[in-house]
Amino acid sequence: MAFRDLFLQVMKTYLQAKREKFSKEQPVFQLVTKAIPQAIEKLPFIPKDHYIIKGSVGQGVWTDVCCSSVILSYCNASVKMSV
């Protein structure tokens, strides 16, 4: 699935998912924490040995703003790109 489609799907489903019980089985959880980071990892200009790529929807409860992050692996600071 293309980036645009992944992000559109998150935008279409995230608010409804937040109204429901937090679950790792939710499709939007899988999109943000698995599909989007995997798509970013496949980009040829993102060397895996320099970056950590993660997605987050919260820890135990849905966060107000989900995000996908590209973090320099050798720095303590992280740069987050919010969805």
Q: What is the pLDDT of residue 80?
A: 47
Of residues 36 and 69, more confidence is placed in 36
Q: How many domains, the chain? A: 1
Q: Which domain holds residue 44?
A: 3-82
Residue type, 36: I
pLDDT tens digit sequence for 25-62: 999 999 999 999 999 999 998 888 888 899 999 999 99
* Cβ-count burial 51-83 (b if 16+ within 10 Å, e if not): bebbbbbeeeebeeebebbbbeeeeeeeeeeeb
The phi, psi pair for 2, rounded to 5°, reads: -70, 155
